Amino acid sequence: MDGILLLNSIFEIFNNNYMPHGACYFWEPTTLWSNVLGDGVTAFSYYMIPGLLIYFVNKRKDIEINALLVAFAIFIVACGTVHVMMIVNVWIPYYDISGMIKIIMALVSVGTVFMLWKSMPELLKIPSPAALQEANDEIKSLNENLEDKVKHRTQALEEMNSELESFSYSISHDLQIPVRAILGYSAMLEEDHIDQLEEEGIRKLQNISNSALKMNELIQGILEFSRLGRKDKTDSMIDMNLLFNESVNEIRAGETTQKEIELNMEELPSVYGDEAMMKQVVNNLLSNAVKYSINQEKIKIDVSAEVSVNEITYFVKDYGIGFDEKYKHKMFDVFQRL
């Protein structure tokens, strides 16, 4: 009730002895209601426009609400309010309030014009629909050309990989024949004529056999590397504790120096992946750790893991000869020895 009285008091300030605007229409219904309805629909439309602008900007996250957009919204609301007051003035002569609203609308209009003029250089840079369509067509054409190039390059790469695979098999097969011959004749020489050789001859024969064995390992490595791309992956949960223990036991069984291999391993988390490939990686790491710690009285290997949000990192540490840090960038190159 107090609010209504306050509102009436405010409007009383602007009350005067002017006639309502309806008197100018002689209260003729057709003229009066055509003006009232016209102003009402116009005011409603003006008020809807800012609402639709807000809805549009809310849906289009790529469009920022800038000062010019806000100025347009205020200008449109002011225009709508002017038409509302024109309806009020038909029955109640609040011409002073109507005049003040028109002044506000005029100021907002001038400000909007100024901002629009200031923004004109940037607005003129907005590409036309034809320019956008041309750019889209160009991008589409570039994408199609790129897809064709990728397709052709992929096909060429597949052909090269196939040729390389065939070449690897051919070379490896051709290399294995003389290596097997060297190993065979070395074994026969050692078996049949060992008693005829002096100590220096026996040492040289062992060097020949060891070199042939290393050559054979290298050939097998080339073959294994060429097969990697053809292997079908079978992913599953891998118990890394079991995998490391199995690998180190296999290495212990094949170790000819009879040196003790001490594996210090933390509790390792399981990982999802191809078990055969993972075992090959583990075998290589442990074999290298043993191979390059051969001068130690006892071969010690530490294994640990670190779990982060998206990955698990496994660490294999040995106490062997190590390598020069300046060559670490070559560590994972194929057939590199640091």
CB atoms within 10 A of CB 304: 14
What's the pLDDT at 21?
A: 86
* 6 has pLDDT over 60: no
Q: Which CATH number fits domain 232-330: 3.40.50.1100, 3.40.50.2300, 3.30.565.10, 1.10.40.60?
A: 3.30.565.10
138: tokens are 């160009």
| pTM: predicted TM-score of the whole model, two decimal places | 0.41
Write out pLDDT tens, residues 123-142.
787 777 888 888 888 898 88
What's the pLDDT at 195?
A: 79
Q: Are 126 and 61 contacting, i.e. CB atoms less than 8 angstroms apart?
A: no
What value does the mean pLDDT take over residues 295-317?
87
Domain range annotation of the chain? 2-126, 132-212, 232-330
Nearest-10 Cα torsion for 208, 213, 218, 224: 160
What's the pLDDT at 187?
A: 83
Side by side, the strands of the sheet bearing 299-307 are 261-265, 299-307, 312-318
* pLDDT interval class at 63 (50, 70, 90): confident
* 292 has pLDDT over 90: no
* pLDDT interval class at 315 (50, 70, 90): very high
CA nearest 89: which of 105, 104, 75, 102?
102
* 3-state secondary structure string across the chain: CHHHHHHHHHHHHCCCCCCCHHHHHCCCHHHHHHHHHHHHHHHHHHHHHHHHHHHHHHHCCCCCCCHHHHHHHHHHHHHHHHHHHHHHHHHCCCHHHHHHHHHHHHHHHHHHHHHHHHHHHHHHCCCCHHHHHHHHHHHHHHHHHHHHHHHHHHHHHHHHHHHHHHHHHHHHHHHHHHHHHHHHHHHHHHHHHHHHCCHHHHHHHHHHHHHHHHHHHHHHHHHHHHHHHHCCCCEEEECHHHHHHHHHHHHHHHCCCCCCEEEEECCCCCEEEEHHHHHHHHHHHHHHHHHCCCCCCCEEEEEEEEECCCCEEEEEEECCCCCCHHHHHHCCCCCCCC
What value does the mean pLDDT take over residues 88-102?
90
* pLDDT interval class at 2 (50, 70, 90): low
Query: What burial class does residue 61 get, using C-beta atoms within 10 Å of its C-beta: 0-12 exposed, 13-18 middle, 19+ buried?
Result: exposed
* 34 has pLDDT over 90: yes
* 312 has pLDDT over 60: yes
The DSSP bridge pattern shows strands 299-307 and 271-274 to be unpaired
* pLDDT interval class at 314 (50, 70, 90): very high
| 316-321-322 Cα angle (round to 5) | 55
Angle of helix 67-91 relative to helix 29-59, nearest 10 degrees, comes to 160
* 297 has pLDDT over 90: no
* 16 has pLDDT over 70: no
Write out pLDDT tens, residues 205-241.
888 887 888 777 777 767 776 666 566 677 889 999 9
* 108 has pLDDT over 90: no
* 42 has pLDDT over 90: yes
What's the pLDDT at 270?
A: 92
